[in-house]
Amino acid sequence: MNEYDSEVMAGLCEALGYFAAEKQEEANLILVNTCCVREKAENKVYGLLGRFRKLKQANPGLIIGVGGCMPQQKNLAREIKSRFPYVNFIFGPHTLFQLPQLIRRAYENKETIIAIQENPVEITEDKPVKRVHNVCAWTPITFGCNNFCTYCIVPYVRGRERSRQPEAILREIKQLVASGYKEITLLGQNVNSYGKDLPDKIDFAALLSRVCQIEELIRLRFLTSHPRDFHQRLIEEIARQPKVCEHIHLPVQAGNNKILKKMNRGYTREEYLALIKNLRQAIPQVAITTDLIVGFPGETNEDFLQTLDLVENVRFASAFTFVYSNRSGTPAAKMPDQVPAEIKKERIQTLIKIQNEITVAENQAEIGKTYQVLVEGRNEKNPSLLAGRTKTNKLVLFPARKDLTGELIQVKITATTLTHLAGVAQVTLV
Ligand code: SAH
Ligand code: SF4
């Protein structure tokens, strides 16, 4: 979602006549798109803003703007202003579309402008988006979140869930495929609850079906799914639609019922495991990935062992693993029995080790199989290789002299690592 927001920021700037600078030192305008989901990301922003002091000294005409969800937190914009007075303006997710005016105002104002708005505005359609990739594109379908997981700051900084009108989503995707995009990823904090706030009766399964009717579209993905709202009707729709990729990112967060309840996730370990079973039965090729948090308040070693047990039981294709980060203003921040940093560190290391072993073994099992790969471009590190993804979202690298960006190629897997599959194309590529 943040990367998509960056594309919108770049699009708004481009519409004003800006273009990308080669280096920070050459820029007339620097925008920082922040994230406050974990403290680590916030600390990076402070470090970055500190380093900009020198750039501003060397180029006093430089305009610096700070956006994203971090300054949307209580009192945070004022803190950024006092610690980094050379920042020209501060905005949040609800004031993103004021960016052109803010840039203009920054040229006339000496003092830091704070443009933070408490509540979201109506969804803005038809905005300029400068997309980073040219084969795959993101299309948001919902903004905000209503789930209020007790550790998470997203509902506070991005507001309540708002669904985009289906017609607007379909129009955008049609335009994207007409201009050559092959793969679309529908975005939302919880895509499965799409449409609940709309007057017309449409749910996520119905939206998927309508998007799949767009003829030129080749592949469709979506992110993120919430186990609570993943109903049988949706599973059947995914299984029925050949364009929908066989990859489900299904964050479980923890494997222990007491912790899941304290997190307010709305499902039990048993319900999650039953959902995995149903998904695998209906979509045999499906790759399931997840998000996991260790060290949530009150998590004992036994609770943690249940998370490890779930990980070993499900065998996720891969996982994003996080150390619980205390976010001020969330219910979990005030819960008793916060887990000491040392223990959290030990637990995350154990979890990563086990998940990595599973990912390596699962990847190795792909050797000898042939997959359809959508080529996204050349591999940055080794440009003699093309890089693309299987429908199960595994990165595949294979040698080819011809640039096949945007094409579907059958690739036989010959070797694997933790992070990718390597293979050879099944046709002669000159
Ligand atoms: N809406 C999505 C993504 C939310 S943020 C979802 O529900 O899955 C992405 C991930 O960050 C979450 O899945 C969670 O694992 C992690 N996360 C969120 N808040 C966190 C916190 N306070 N500490 C550690 N990890 C957190
Ligand atoms: Fe945060 Fe939970 Fe919403 Fe995801 S579903 S954004 S973790 S509150």
Q: Is the CB of 251 under 6 A from ligand 1?
A: yes
Q: How far is the CA of 150 from the centre of ligand 2 (A)?
A: 9
Q: Is 146 found in the same domain as 60?
A: no
Q: How far is the CA of 116 from the centre of ligand 1 (A)?
A: 23
Alpha-carbon separation of residue 157 from 13, 59, 134 (angstroms): 23, 33, 30
Q: Are 299 and 339 in contact (CB under 8 A)?
A: yes
Q: How far is the CA of 270 from the centre of ligand 2 (A)?
A: 20
Q: Are strands 63-68 and 395-399 parallel, antiparallel or unpaired?
A: unpaired
Residues 6 or more apart in contact with residue 165 via CB below 8 angstroms: 123, 198
Q: Are 32 and 66 in contact (CB under 8 A)?
A: yes
Q: Is the CB of 152 under 6 A from ligand 1?
A: yes
Q: Which residues constitute the domain of residue 401? A: 370-425
Q: Is the CB of 350 under 6 A from ligand 1?
A: no
For residue 394, give the CATH number of its domain: 2.40.50.140
Q: Is 318 found in the same domain as 395?
A: no
In a domain, 288, yes or no: yes
One DSSP character per residue, 35-101 reads --SSHHHHHHHHHHHHHHHHHHHH-TT-EEEEEESGGGSTTHHHHHHHH-TT--EEE-GGGGGGHHH
In a domain, 300, yes or no: yes
Q: How many domains are contained in the chain?
A: 3
Q: Is the CB of 293 under 6 A from ligand 1?
A: yes
Ligand nearest to the CA of 294: 1
Domain final position from 362, 381, 397: 362
Q: Which atom of ligand 1 is nearest to the CA of 332?
A: 22
In a domain, 430, yes or no: no
Q: Is 214 found in the same domain as 350?
A: yes
Q: Is the CB of 226 under 6 A from ligand 2?
A: yes
Nearest to 363 by CA among 400, 292, 323, 418: 418
Q: Which atom of ligand 2 is nearest to the CA of 190?
A: 5
Q: Is 274 found in the same domain as 292?
A: yes
Q: How far is the CA of 33 from the centre of ligand 1 (A)?
A: 18
Domain final position from 339, 362, 385: 362
Q: What's the rounded Cα separation, in Å, for the pair 323 and 270?
A: 24
In a domain, 127, yes or no: no
In a domain, 20, yes or no: yes
Alpha-carbon separation of residue 254 from 5, 29, 38, 290 (angstroms): 29, 42, 17, 10
Q: Is 211 found in the same domain as 291?
A: yes
Residues 6 or more apart in contact with residue 18 via CB below 8 angstroms: 28, 29
Q: Is the CB of 38 under 6 A from ligand 1?
A: yes
Q: Is 413 found in the same domain as 296?
A: no
Q: Are strands 395-399 and 421-425 parallel, antiparallel or unpaired?
A: parallel
Q: How far is the CA of 152 from the centre of ligand 1 (A)?
A: 6
Return the pLDDT at 127.
Answer: 86
CA angle at residue 8 from 35 to 118, to 5 degrees?
A: 55
Q: Which atom of ligand 2 is nearest to the CA of 148?
A: 8
In a domain, 12, yes or no: yes
Residue with tokens 């009707």: 233
Mutate to test the pocket of ligand 2, among 38, 72, 145 (most ligand atoms within 8 A of CB): 145
Query: Helix (H, G, I), strand (E, B), or coil: what is residue 19?
Result: coil
Q: Is 298 found in the same domain as 409?
A: no
Q: Is 391 found in the same domain as 303?
A: no
Q: How far is the CA of 344 from the centre of ligand 1 (A)?
A: 16
Q: Taking the CB of residue 107, how many other CB atoms lie within 10 A of it? A: 9
Q: How far is the CA of 301 from the centre of ligand 1 (A)?
A: 21
Return the pLDDT at 213.
Answer: 98
Ligand nearest to the CA of 187: 1
Ligand nearest to the CA of 293: 1
Return the pLDDT at 100.
Answer: 96
Domain final position from 115, 149, 179: 115
Return the pLDDT at 430.
Answer: 57
Q: What's the rounded Cα separation, in Å, for the pair 302 and 334?
A: 22
Q: Is 47 found in the same domain as 144?
A: no
Query: Helix (H, G, I), strand (E, B), or coil: what is residue 18?
Result: coil
Q: Which atom of ligand 1 is nearest to the CA of 145?
A: 1
Q: Is the CB of 151 under 6 A from ligand 1?
A: yes
For residue 251, give the CATH number of its domain: 3.80.30.20
In a domain, 126, yes or no: no
The 3-state secondary structure of 175-214, one letter per residue: HHHHCCCCEEEEECCCHHHCCCCCCCCCCHHHHHHHHHCC
Q: Is the CB of 324 under 6 A from ligand 1?
A: yes
Q: How far is the CA of 310 from the centre of ligand 2 (A)?
A: 21
Nearest to 14 by CA among 135, 99, 114: 99
Q: Is 67 found in the same domain as 102?
A: yes
In a domain, 125, yes or no: no
Q: Is 379 found in the same domain as 348?
A: no
Q: Is 397 found in the same domain as 268?
A: no
Q: How far is the CA of 101 from the centre of ligand 2 (A)?
A: 31
Ligand nearest to the CA of 224: 1
For residue 79, give the CATH number of its domain: 3.40.50.12160
Per-residue tens of pLDDT for the chain, all 430 residues: 999 999 999 999 999 999 999 999 999 999 999 999 999 999 999 999 999 999 999 999 999 999 999 999 999 999 999 999 999 999 999 999 999 999 999 999 989 999 999 999 888 888 899 999 999 999 999 999 999 999 999 999 999 999 999 999 999 999 999 999 999 999 999 999 999 999 988 999 999 999 999 999 999 999 999 999 999 999 999 999 999 999 999 999 999 999 999 999 999 999 999 999 999 999 999 999 999 999 999 999 999 999 999 999 999 999 999 999 999 999 999 999 999 999 999 999 999 999 999 999 999 999 999 999 999 999 999 999 999 999 999 999 999 999 999 999 999 999 999 999 999 999 876 5
